[in-house]
Structure 1
Amino acid sequence: MSKVQARQLVHGPRAGRRRLPRRSLRVIAVLALGVTVAMFTAGGVSANPGPARQQAPTTCGAPVAGQPNGKQWAAEPGLSIDPSARYTATLATTCGTVSIALDAARAPRTVNSFVFLAGEQYFDHTKCHRITTEGLYVLQCGDPTAMGTGGPGYRFPDENLAGASYPAGTVAMANSGPGTNGSQFFLVYRDSQLPPDYTPFGRVTAGMDVLTSIAAAGSKGGLGDGAPALDVVLDSVTAVRN
């Protein structure tokens, strides 16, 4: 794999694709010192290989009837959360439920956007469009187009990058470069190595078995990076203050 190809895995600069909203949202693998290294932590890959893989289901449940609303906004929503409060999110998927503790203190604008979009039912009925099973270990969601090209129409700056790392359970924003955050995010199901370029804004507190089962089923076509083999749909995403 060339350095250009490795870079494309992160930023996805394919013709005709946009990333939040201009270029394809991709998370990545890059070559470092001639060795393929998964770019996903400042602190390096943990010696812990991550959670044991579960028996892969042959199918997930049927999605709840409905279509993504694909709403668009001209500007980032104003800050309406309390950065000192605790917020949690629940991803009800066709393959099981994932619970997330949101980090409003370290990533207030990111959590504010996520809570806003969840309240607008922006994530409901959207497919998780990408799974990576080689080098990086993430499930990517949040795009109403399911093509890696969609976003809410606004962008906002990165947060919480100092010393950022991406162990299993991390929830972070996907992007196409500095300050290009929108709606797409990824869930890390196994310790992954990336540079500190992707805003961590939460941690999975329940449902890691759901993520590892999705990953164990692999991607369509059997590649290490592509659409999940299972039909992973976010039936609903809710975010509440605790």
Structure 2
Amino acid sequence: MPSNEQRRAAAQRKLERQLANRAARARKRKQLTIAGSVLGVVVLVAAGVGVYFLTKGDDDKSKDAALAGSVNCTYNASRQPAAKPVNKPRTDGIKTTGGDAKLSVSMDTSAGPIGLTLNNAKAPCTVNSFASLVGQKYFDGTTCHRMTAGEGLKVLQCGDPTGTGTGGPGYTFDDEYPANQFPPGDPSAQMPIPYKRGVVAMANGGPSTNGSQFFLVYGDSQLPPAYTIFGTVDEPGLATLDKIAAAGQDNSGGQGDGKPNVPVEIKNIQID
């Protein structure tokens, strides 16, 4: 029969395990909760555009299979109404190759220009949605409401007309690259991977809750592959992001997480 001292030691070990597990869950929540979603949970929601990988300029060594020349997309009505009146994107015959496979986009912001190259070869439904929102001037006059500056997560989040992190376009759509590289239930899908400086990705509130919010990575970051990558930022755009980051954020969302100290307004976005 265990002695009182043995019971106390066992209880202490159990408490230590509980505290360690709690800390691990807290770290995971902080990492995953990148921005407000249409579900009211804060996670990154952005227009995902497939970049061949997570890094800029690498050769494709991933296990992904090539998409067909065109795909059909599904955009489901969300429980939350659109933050700004907008029509759903078209759904049929979305090109993944040819002239429509890459889009050059210019963001004119109050902090300076940010050029994007979107590649729908890996995330055609995300790019299609983003292009539709751009064409309807959904992003014009909106602010980038969140910036993170913590270890392992350096992003500027935009795309919510309400500026609160909870707004969306009134519809959601499925995750694409790199989330679609993992079979259902694969534990690897929970493991952080590099989201390199210059990546543009979607924010979301959980699997397949993409809407309009997106984030721009200004410093190498680590995230689970749950956020659709849809493009890259050009060099002048990275200089603009560096200027925004240098001004810091107000820690209103916790240490290293808050609104940019210098407000960032998207004056307009245009497809070149």
Superposition TM-score tier, normalisation by shorter sequence:
0.7 to 0.9
Q: Are the counterparts in 1 of residues 43 and 206 from structure 2 also a CA contact under 8 Å?
A: no
SS of residue matched to 1:101: strand
- Larger helix proportion of the pair: 2
Match of residue 129, structure 1, among 134, 140, 145:
145
Closer/same/farther in 2, CA of residues 216 and 18 from structure 1, 3 Å limit: closer
> Is 1:71 matched up with 2:85?
yes
CA deviation after TM superposition for structure 1 residue 9, in Å? 3.1
Counterpart code for 2:91: G
Q: Secondary structure at the match of 1:22?
A: coil
Aligned residues: 198
Q: What is the aligned counterpart of 1:168 among 197, 219, 223?
A: 197
Whole-angstrom CA distance in 2 between matches of 1:80 and 1:237: 24
Post-superposition CA distance 1:163-191 (Å, at most 9, x none)? 87410000000011110100000000011
Q: Distance in 2 between matches of 1:87 and 1:80?
A: 17
Which runs of no fewer than 5 residues in structure 2 stay unpaired? Answer: 1-21, 45-52, 56-82, 183-192
CA contact (8 A) 1:11 1:177 kept: no
In structure 1, stretches of 5+ residues that fail to align are 28-41, 45-68
State whether residues 89 and 128 of structure 2, in contact with CA within 8 Å, keep that contact through their aligned partners in structure 1.
no
Aligned residue among 256, 263, 267 for 1:224: 256
Query: Counterpart of 1:145?
Result: 162
Deviation at 1:154, TM superposition (A): 0.4
C-alpha contact (below 8 Å) 2:54/2:199 kept by paired residues: no
CA offsets, 1:92-113, max 9 Å, x none?
Answer: 1000000011011111000000
C-alpha RMSD over aligned residues: 2.8
Which deviates more from structure 2 when the two are superposed, residues 199-208 or residues 161-170?
161-170
Q: CA deviation at 1:220?
A: 1.8
Q: Does 1:92 align with 2:124?
A: no
SS in 2 for 1:175: coil
1:108 aligns with 2:118: no
**In percent, how many aligned pairs have the same letter?**
42
TM-score for both structures, normalised by structure 1: 0.73
Contact kept? 2:117, 2:233, Cα under 8 Å: yes
Report the secondary structure of 1:146's partner residue. coil
Structure 1 partner of 2:228: 199
Contact 1:76 1:154 in 2 (8 A): no
**Aligned match for 1:181, one of 210, 216, 230:** 210
Letter in 2 for 1:156: F
Structure 1 CA distance for aligned equivalents of residues 223 and 241 of structure 2: 19
Letter matched to residue 204 of structure 2 = N
Show structure 1 runs of 4+ deviating over 6 A.
none
- Tell me the SS of whatever aligns to 1:117: helix
Q: 1:142 to 1:43 in 2, by over 3 A?
A: closer
The 1:154–1:10 alpha-carbon spacing in structure 2 relative to 1, beyond 3 Å, is farther
8 Å CA contact retained: 1:79, 1:112: no
Which amino acid letter does the alignment assign opposite residue 126 of structure 1? Answer: T
TM-score by length of 2: 0.65
Verify the 8 A CA contact 1:169 1:190 in the aligned structure 2: yes
Q: Deviations over 1:52-103 (max 9, x none)?
A: xxxxxxxxxxxxxxxxx81245x55425753213211111100000001101
